[in-house]
Amino acid sequence: MPQPIPELGLCILSWRNHEKLRVTLDSYRRQGLFRFFSEARILFQEATAEDFVIAEEFDLSALGLESNVGIEQGWAYLLNHMNSRYIVFLENDCPLIEPEAVVAHELNQGVRLLDRGIVDVYRLRSKEHPGAKFQNCTKYQRYYPVANEPYSPSQSLMRTLRRWVRPKKAQRLIGSAPYCIHDATQRHPQLKQHTDDVIIVPSAYLNWTNQSVLFSRTWMQGVLLARVRSHPSHRSINGFQDIEMALNCDWWRQQAFKIGIGSGLFTHL
- pLDDT of residue 205 exceeding 80, the answer is yes
Supply the DSSP symbol for 15: E
pTM: 0.95
- Interior/surface letters 30-62, b for 16+ CB within 10 angstroms, e for the rest: ebebebbbbbbbbbbbebeeebeebbeebebeb
Alpha carbon dihedral 127, 130, 135, 141, in 10-degree steps, equals 40
How does pLDDT run across 80-138, given as a tens digit for each residue? 999 999 999 999 999 999 999 999 999 999 999 999 999 999 999 999 999 999 999 99
How does pLDDT run across 5-60, given as a tens digit for each residue? 999 999 999 998 899 999 999 999 999 999 999 999 999 999 999 999 999 999 99
**What is the model's pLDDT at position 235?**
80
Taking the domains of the chain in order of start, what are their residue ranges?
8-126+191-266, 136-187
Closest to 54 (Cα-Cα) out of 79, 82, 78, 20: 20
CATH topology of domain 8-126+191-266: Spore Coat Polysaccharide Biosynthesis Protein SpsA; Chain A (3.90.550)
CA–CA distance, 72 with 228 (Å, rounded to integer)? 8
CB 178 within 8 A of CB 240: no
Cα Rg, the chain, nearest whole Å: 19
**What is the model's pLDDT at position 241?**
78
> For 199-212, what is the mean pLDDT?
98
- pLDDT of residue 238 exceeding 80, the answer is no
